[in-house]
Amino acid sequence: GEDVEQSLFLSVREGDSSVINCTYTDSSSTYLYWYKQEPGAGLQLLTYIFSNMDMKQDQRLTVLLNKKDKHLSLRIADTQTGDSAIYFCAERVNRDDKIIFGKGTRLHILP
């Protein structure tokens, strides 16, 4: 079945790198996504990666995909206080309309 798992909390010092990890179960995933949710706001797409890629970089964000292990990670370089939010991993399976989300990882920035 379809399932996306991620740890619930991560604390990182300002200026350090944050690495948020995610695992998924469905090997037929076509696209994998990272969404960000700030307090009181909706789910904002940060980045996505196609399943035939293993890395994607966009400014401070690096996404790594290990398809063999069904493991996805999001690295945020030089973490800032504005990065404090909940980060959701999500997958799209085959040509389904829907996207399946994890529970979200709350990123807390330490001064």
Partner 1 sequence: EPEVTQTPSHQVTQMGQEVILRCVPISNHLYFYWYRQILGQKVEFLVSFYNNEISEKSEIFDDQFSVERPDGSNFTLKIRSTKLEDSAMYFCASNPGPISGANVLTFGAGSRLTVL
Question: Under the rule (CB under 8 A), what is the footprint of partner 1?
Answer: 4, 31, 33, 35, 40-45, 48, 50, 88, 90, 92, 96-104
Q: How far is the CB of 81 from partner 1 (least distance, A)?
A: 21
Q: How far is the CB of 3 from partner 1 (least distance, A)?
A: 9
Kindly tell me which of 8 and 77 has the beta carbon lying closer to partner 1. 8
Q: 10 Å Cβ neighbour count for 62?
A: 17
Q: How far is the CB of 91 from partner 1 (least distance, A)?
A: 11
Kindly tell me which of 53 and 64 has the beta carbon lying closer to partner 1. 53
Q: Distance between CA atoms of 1 and 7, rounded to whole angstroms?
A: 20
Q: Distance between CA atoms of 94 and 30, rounded to whole angstroms?
A: 6
Q: How far is the CB of 29 from partner 1 (least distance, A)?
A: 12
Using alpha carbons, select from 92, 94, 91, 90 the residue that is nearest to residue 103.
Answer: 90
Q: How far is CA 102 from the centre of its chain?
A: 9
Structure tokens at 65: 């995909």
Kindly tell me which of 35 and 83 has the beta carbon lying closer to partner 1. 35
